[in-house]
Amino acid sequence: MKSKEEILKLEHQVCFPIYTLSKEIVSMYRPYLDELDISYPQYLVLMVLWEEQQATVSMICEKLYLDTGTITPMLKRMEAKELIARTRQKNDERVVQITLTQKGKDLKKKAINIPYKLLEDIDLTQEELVFLRSITTKILKKSNK
In this predicted structure, what is the pLDDT of residue 90? Answer: 85
More confident position, 139 or 102: 102
Edge to edge, what strands does the sheet with 54-56 contain? 54-56, 96-100, 84-88
- Nearest Cα neighbor of 78 from 46, 113, 31 is 46
In this predicted structure, what is the pLDDT of residue 11? Answer: 87
In this predicted structure, what is the pLDDT of residue 1? Answer: 62
Residue range 23-77, pLDDT digits in tens: 999 999 999 999 999 999 999 999 999 999 999 999 999 999 999 999 999 999 9
Query: Which distant-in-sequence residues (6+ apart) come within 8 Å of 128 by Cβ?
Result: none
List the domains of the chain with CATH numbers: 12-143 (1.10.10.10)
Residue range 122-136, pLDDT digits in tens: 888 889 989 999 999
79, 86 Cβ separation under 8 angstroms: yes
pLDDT band at 14 (very low <50, low <70, confident <90, very high): confident
99, 54 Cβ separation under 8 angstroms: yes
Q: 39 to each of 20, 35, 45, 75, 129, how far by Cα in Å?
A: 18, 10, 10, 12, 23
Residue range 77-93, pLDDT digits in tens: 999 999 999 999 888 88
User: Does residue 144 register a pLDDT over 80?
Assistant: no
- Cβ count within 10 A of residue 41: 16
Residue range 103-121, pLDDT digits in tens: 999 999 999 999 999 988 9
